[in-house]
A = this chain, B = another copy of it.
């Protein structure tokens, strides 16, 4: 009753259609580490939330947040040691082509900055992204978000089929040939932009293609596509909002998939729940952006963002989360991969650290996506106390992306629940 009433109030106060997870939505009232608790005190293993990367209610983050807010939290047009040090640390965690940082409050805002920066740095307008991606919700960034939508191939934006080996662009090709086939799609997008007079300002990609379902990328694609774009005078933007901050077992997704982006966009996990995002690049790109745009973001570059952002970095380092993630992620992925041969409805298991995808398909061996089964699995797992979601071009990829403090024991528990669900569903 109470929940129905809250849901009705929510439908009015936030508008109908404000998304809720699961057939019966959860009312979450408490969190700790990798666990969330509903209003009846029931514990769930959180295998979805990447924002609370160092754990729900992490006391070091609470302390840093409260201490700084009690000292001062003001905009960035005064000098403050904190935000400078935070920017230095963030740039320093990247490859040596990344020097300076523009802070903002959301992934969308950081992508806006990245695109504006790329256009200023290159003097060109054209943007290239994949055909099953999401980079944010502003008018500009939303136009590059093709989840479930047919790609727009006019104006300044082109999409190309994301690179994958499970459902390859063409069958029967060697890895090298498949890589070339995807590169040819990008080259076609480049040609189309050039024909329209836009040229190529940037290719933007999530470094692990998270929304595309963390595909198995044909080897060499990432560095070759970077060369291709550079050859056209464009820049490569790595959207690290999901893939960064130790998610893959390395600091950055681009280390896992082996390329060197020109601009790095970071977001969700940066503040463990405090809105923080950043766009990092070579200093001359940032300088050119600042000279042209006079960019100011009121609640960004603040002492609060700095204190909390550095506390998150400190916790990742203190807990050695990159190693932990690599360890737990590799073992869990390998365990799940061993289920592929046991269940004809598990098409593929792929992962990068603690971002793991389980591709659900229909019987019959033709890799037909099964979105209904994926949704059902997600609900059943919730009933057993494990929170996952789904993604991918066909909504048939079970998405596992827990807080980085997710443990080996949590992984073991999940495997038991997953096997139970598959059994109960007769899969």
**Residues of chain A having any CB pair with chain B under 8 Å:** 3, 6-7, 9-10, 12-21, 25-31, 36-37, 49, 51-52, 56-57, 59, 61-62, 65-66, 69-81, 83-84, 87-88, 91, 99-109, 112, 115-116, 137-140, 142, 267-268, 271-275, 283, 286-287, 289-291, 293-302, 304
Contacts and interface: CB of A to CB of B under 8 A. Distances in A.
A79 B302 CA distance: 30
Contact of A287 (B17, B28, B91): B17
A62 B51 contact: no
A145 to B, nearest CB: 10
A385 B231 CA distance: 54
A99 B12 contact: yes
Closest A-B pairs by Cβ, 5 of them: A15-B286, A17-B290, A66-B66, A13-B87, A73-B273
A85 to B, nearest CB: 8
Of A25, A56, A116, A275, the most chain B CB neighbours within 10 A belong to: A275
A18 B108 contact: no
A389 B51 CA distance: 36
Contacts of A80: 27-29
A31 B74 contact: yes
Given A14-B84, A15-B101, A104-B106, 5 more contacts: A13-B87, A14-B76, A29-B72, A31-B71, A106-B297
Contact of A84 (B10, B31, B76): B10
Contacts of A75: 49, 51
A106 B105 contact: yes
A52 B65 CA distance: 16
Nearest to A29: B72
Contacts of A36: 72, 74, 78
Nearest to A66: B66
Contacts of A27: 78-81
Contact of A15 (B79, B81, B267, B289): B289
